[in-house]
Structure 1
């Protein structure tokens, strides 16, 4: 992907067996980022198709951030409640969450789309995040299992100090769950960033079109006889960079946080 992005489109198939491009160029990045004119893009071998990369990057960042932050917090609340609270129907409710793991997402696609359309939320960020904003079964299951491993003595000590259930959750359980929270946050971020089918159905206008959908539209704008592979691979390369930065920032912190030690 990176090699194709750095190759002159006019020589793409001439040196396709070389790991390092013989005709190295940054023209593909310039035209995808909108830094070159239409004539310059065509001269570089491009199709002339346009891609407002910064707009679609912003849309993807908004979509991913909202999903990760709200979903992680709400699922942590649900997981803690299922792990620590005693109420009638708790096991049945947890079994319902677990059974949802066996339902393929494609089965819920059309019902969710019909509901979002009925609510008038097509081509809005609210419609994009609606089906997964508050909960995914795996996230609830994952966090519940970790909350069960937290020593009860820690929470009982906080309870004796006068802390209520809400305070214990925010000031004891969540700080001790930093590693799992970062883990599930990164997992959900990768999933939301690469999501394609649902954003394709709901966010078709430019104001809500995410980067994965935009790359598909960009390829469709190319002539059928000669798809703009260099432009597509350039956009794909740029789309991976935010996730790589996220991993570089939180990767070491994730590894350190997983060294769970209980009371300090």
Structure 2
């Protein structure tokens, strides 16, 4: 009996050790590239190719961050890296915040209105229209790229922020489906009580439904913001040629294509700019990542 129990404990502990080993490997694979980006960003440009077998930065410096944000004297930047970047990452950073922020606010608001309509309002062919709308999830984004660009060009919005916002400004099928599932779980008695007190659909939606739905709305806002913070193709096509509308993803590509005097890419500057680009996403996931996990499963009003 004792031998059998010891054998069971050994197998259980061995299984746990194996799972922890797999988890450690996955964590390493995930975090090591991020650490290498930070290591390169903190390394002097002329020392990037030295001591590459060490995981610690060589000659730690913040000059790379000062260079890419335009806070360093141009002559000093040329001495350090061999060239002066023409990419204004400070402007690109603010453009990305505006681009992702405007789309996030508008998409969450209009998606919430559409989701509430599909969840509560009665109108002909409601379920059919909802199914047709959600089926748009099966349409690849690349299919709508050319028609959207032709429309934006005809409107004269190429190279402008409105042209970059327009295709994403209203609701999306995923957002509508996501919020509708939550709205369906809300107790109807709350809305009926508001209706008895004289509240109309808009009042009920604005003063009751939205406050109740803070968790899924915040989750959707985070997902939307991160998605469009990382958007590359559409901002490149519509606004990439204009420095005033460049976002971080496009600016990184432009910076990567610029070669300093030694002919090799400015890896230190590129990694410093990349570090700045991922900071907002990391902060969002760090402070509010648990909210995303908790909102995956919906529960009605208790």
Q: TM-score, normalised by structure 1?
A: 0.92
What's the CA shift for 1:221?
Answer: 1.8
RMSD: 2.1
Question: What is aligned with 2:80?
Answer: 44
**Larger CA deviation: 117-126 vs 215-224:** 215-224
Question: What is aligned with 2:127?
Answer: 91
Question: What does 1:125-144 align with in structure 2 at a 5 Å threshold?
Answer: 125-144=161-180
Matching of residue 185 in structure 1 with residue 221 in structure 2: yes
What's the CA shift for 1:72?
Answer: 0.3
Q: TM-score, normalised by structure 2?
A: 0.81
| Secondary structure of 1:207 counterpart | helix
**Larger CA deviation: 167-176 vs 40-49:** 40-49
- Where do 4+ consecutive residues of structure 1 move more than 6 Å? 252-259
Matching of residue 243 in structure 1 with residue 276 in structure 2: no
Q: After superposition, give the CA deviation of every residue in 1:200-239 in whole Å (9 maximum; x if it has no partner).
A: 0001211211111111111112259301111111001011
Matching of residue 225 in structure 1 with residue 269 in structure 2: no
2:272 to 222, 234, 249: 234
Question: What is aligned with 1:195?
Answer: 231
| Secondary structure of 2:57 counterpart | coil
The count of aligned residue pairs is 263
| Secondary structure of 2:280 counterpart | helix
Question: What is aligned with 2:19?
Answer: none
What's the CA shift for 1:13?
Answer: 1.5
Answer with 1 or 2: which has the greater Rg: 2
Q: Distance in 2 between matches of 1:193 and 1:26?
A: 25
Mind listing any 5+ residue stretches in structure 2 that lack a counterpart? 1-36
User: Where is the helix percentage greater, Structure 1 or Structure 2?
Assistant: 2
Matching of residue 216 in structure 1 with residue 280 in structure 2: no
What's the CA shift for 1:243?
Answer: 2.6
Q: Identify if the C-alpha distance between structure 1 residues 95 and 104 changes in structure 2 by more than 3 Å, giving closer, same or farther.
A: same
Q: Identify if the C-alpha distance between structure 1 residues 230 and 123 changes in structure 2 by more than 3 Å, giving closer, same or farther.
A: same
Contact 2:115 2:180 in 1 (8 A): yes
What's the CA shift for 1:165?
Answer: 1.2
Question: What is aligned with 1:172?
Answer: 208
Mind listing any 5+ residue stretches in structure 1 that lack a counterpart? none
Matching of residue 206 in structure 1 with residue 243 in structure 2: yes
Contact 2:219 2:295 in 1 (8 A): no
